[in-house]
Amino acid sequence: MDAGINPTSGDLTGQRISTLANAVYLRLMTPLGSYWADPSLGSRLHELRREKDKARVGRLAKQYAQEALQGLIDDGRATAIEITVEQLHDGWLRLLIEVTAPAGRQTFEHSVRVI
């Protein structure tokens, strides 16, 4: 069990969790290569902050998220990960992430700021 992290604020919630929520959150929010203990942990989603809200950027966001979350499949904590991108052209890309784990399916939402 892990200490829960609030995905909105990044603060600890004070509750213990047994889901993959922390693993997904940390892999998406940490810039790739910046974590000293594991340079392969993280994503390139931070690179999209200054990009325009175009279809190409949505495809890049999906690719970056898949690359970041592939480690969950590689270490056996998840069996499948499906990512869909919502572009409402309001300055945010919304990633809807469905993780299939041995304990069941879990759904997460992650937002990426774009111009």
- Report how far Cα 62 is from the mean position of its chain's Cα atoms: 10
- The tokens describing 56, both together, are 């190409």
User: What confidence score (pLDDT) does residue 100 get?
Assistant: 94
Strand partners, 96: 84, 109
- Segment 12-69, tens digit of pLDDT: 777 766 678 888 998 999 999 998 988 999 999 999 998 998 999 999 999 999 999 9
Range of the domain at 78: 2-113
Residue 113 to residues 16, 40, 83: CA-CA distances in angstroms? Answer: 29, 23, 17
Q: At what angle do helices 55-74 and 21-29 cross, to 10 degrees?
A: 130
Query: What is the arithmetic mean of pLDDT over 91-106?
Result: 92
Please give the tally of structural domains in the chain.
Answer: 1
| CATH code, 100 | 3.10.450.40
- The tokens describing 62, both together, are 């999906």
pTM of the predicted protein model: 0.88
Examine the pLDDT at 1 and tell me if it is beyond 60. no
